[in-house]
Structure 1
Amino acid sequence: MDIDAVTGILREAASTAIVPRFRALADGDVSEKSPGEVVTVADREAEELISVRLRGLVDAPVVGEEAASADPGLVRALVEAPVAWLVDPLDGTANFVAGRPEYAVMAALVRHGVTVAAWILRPVSGTVYVAERGSGAWRDGSRVVRKPAPSDVSSLHGVALTRFLSPQDRAHVEASSPLFGSVGPGSRCAGVDYPLLVDGELDFALFHRTLPWDHAPGTLLLAEAGGVPLRPDGSPYAPGDDRVGLLNAVDEACWDTVRALLIPEGVRG
């Protein structure tokens, strides 16, 4: 796999379809694809460009967020095809529309249901994170290894996206949050929150909805940097798995602590 070639494809998509429209979206460039979910012309153009280029590198199905929104059956390729691409052309679309810089371009390569390579590009800074299963994680070409989290719970900092939780589970998270140093709502962009884990600015991140284009790249990045991305019941995350719930932590001790305090017992499995 030519890691740098994929990075180049994401940079090309960002520079041609996304960055020129940042804070410059025209009337008609934004539409609602589902209640509370927006899509822009930048999402669609970037996904089309990336998909064509990726198939030129490895001729395999491309499961893009926008294509899968139109045809949900495409997601089956992640478990049925021997090789498949995953693409999130503009993660954090709501931020992008609002003119906030917390957005990313992401891709992953999946073999036999397992994520084997991942890319996260932050177009605003130009920073790119890359991971390859069994080979490590990198930020702009430099190896990334995350240090263990503090042992004191009050020194742990994380995010918990509670938007999709039941009222009971949301109340549990809110009641437990003061035990930690901080528990925020996150950036509304997985392509921002996962790099914050490996860069040392966050110690854990709890998600409920785990769409593959949002989480396949970041979970591999975190794992290759030494972190622990697992379902609340302790089972591994796989991009073809449609279950909900995902707890990411920077080491096993942190994962165990956050699971015991932040996740309701009935959700732990």
Structure 2
Amino acid sequence: MDVDTQQVLDLMKQVAAEVITPRFRSLADGEVMEKNPGDLVTIADQESEAILTRELSAAYPDAFVLGEELTSTDPTAIDRFVAAEHAFTVDPVDGTKNFVHGSPDHAVMVSEVVRGETVRGWIWQPEHQVAWVAEKGAGVYRDGVRVTREPVGDGVPPKGVTSIWPLRGHSLGSLPALVGSWVCCGVDYPRLLEGACDYILYARNSPWDHSPGTLMVREAGGHAGHADGTAYSPVVLTPGIIVAADRGTFEAVRRHASDAFARRG
């Protein structure tokens, strides 16, 4: 049986309350591991992904559920996601490093993808107690209130942030120097929607990181795509993503983005 948008959000809140929040600033020895050097995973990531995957699979038995942690153990997962007619992405604890180091800037993220296009997206920030939900063609909502993003004003230099360490402090052409993002897509995208920045540069392109937020930005009037001008799609894994408050800002950034991505180190 299909579950509605609110039911998915309620599931995410329940999983966070039962599995994630009790571990926040209380992780025991052995509950933090490395998938790769510097790439952390916790028992909260693993347990929450298992529950979300189980429940989504039960509700949508014909859909493929791509969890971030699944990809670290199943090398076929991404290919199966790309080929799927209907799929979900699950990021059980986005911003794991923040979570491990006691920062409240972490989130649970889920998206629904149909024929290669994101049609629904959810972000739940458990420590901030803020929910973001979007449906294609129906807008994006923060705690039930619709959100739109005003374009950057004429003559106003857009503010950019990035998670790409080598680019922090560097400028794209005549644009102001980039500063660090919040190191969590589940916080970065909402912060752009709230006006804290006007564009974001990402090097990595993982569907679970960007599928929910790009839908939200588009529904609010913004744009997301790549340095060659192509629009973002969760099943096109081209590295290097530009997320912008409006199309004009996207184009202004895109002119310099190829060189910036080449310097990412």
What is the TM-score of this pair, normalised by structure 2? 0.92
Letter matched to residue 130 of structure 1: V
**Corresponding residue for 1:126?**
129
Alignment of 1:217 with 2:212, yes or no, is: yes
For structure 2, list consecutive stretches of 5 or more residues without a partner in the other structure: none
**Root-mean-square deviation over aligned CA pairs:** 1.9
Give, in whole Å, the separation in 2 of the partners of 1:56 and 1:183.
43
One of 151, 162, 165 as aligned partner of 2:154 = 151
**Corresponding residue for 2:224?**
229
Shift of 1:133: 1.0
Shift of 1:266: 9.1
Letter matched to residue 197 of structure 1: L
Give, in whole Å, the separation in 2 of the partners of 1:62 and 1:49.
12
One of 206, 230, 238 as aligned partner of 1:243 = 238
Shift of 1:161: 2.4
The answer to which structure has the higher helix fraction is: 1
Mapping 1:3-42, distance limit 5 Å: 3-42=5-44
Superposed CA deviations along residues 20-63 of structure 1, whole A, max 9, x for unmatched, are 11000001100101121010000001001111111232222210
**Corresponding residue for 1:48?**
50
Secondary structure of 2:72's counterpart equals helix
Secondary structure of 2:228's counterpart equals coil
Kept in 1, the 8 Å contact 2:228–2:254? The answer is: no
From the superposition, tell whether residues 21 and 261 of structure 1 become closer, same or farther in structure 2 (CA, over 3 Å). same
Letter matched to residue 205 of structure 1: I
Kept in 2, the 8 Å contact 1:153–1:179? The answer is: no
Secondary structure of 2:171's counterpart equals helix
From the superposition, tell whether residues 39 and 20 of structure 1 become closer, same or farther in structure 2 (CA, over 3 Å). same
Superposed CA deviations along residues 97-118 of structure 1, whole A, max 9, x for unmatched, are 0001110000001111111110
Superposed CA deviations along residues 125-155 of structure 1, whole A, max 9, x for unmatched, are 211111111111111111111111133353x
Shift of 1:175: 4.0
Letter matched to residue 5 of structure 1: Q
Kept in 2, the 8 Å contact 1:198–1:225? The answer is: yes
**Corresponding residue for 1:176?**
171
Kept in 1, the 8 Å contact 2:227–2:257? The answer is: no
**Corresponding residue for 1:138?**
141
One of 95, 103, 120 as aligned partner of 1:100 = 103
Give, in whole Å, the separation in 1 of the partners of 2:8 and 2:260.
41
What is the TM-score of this pair, normalised by structure 1? 0.90
For structure 1, list consecutive stretches of 5 or more residues without a partner in the other structure: none
**Corresponding residue for 2:184?**
189
Would you say how many aligned residue pairs link Structure 1 and Structure 2?
259
Shift of 1:119: 0.3
From the superposition, tell whether residues 241 and 215 of structure 1 become closer, same or farther in structure 2 (CA, over 3 Å). same
Shift of 1:242: 1.9
Give, in whole Å, the separation in 1 of the partners of 2:261 and 2:175.
21
**Corresponding residue for 2:254?**
259
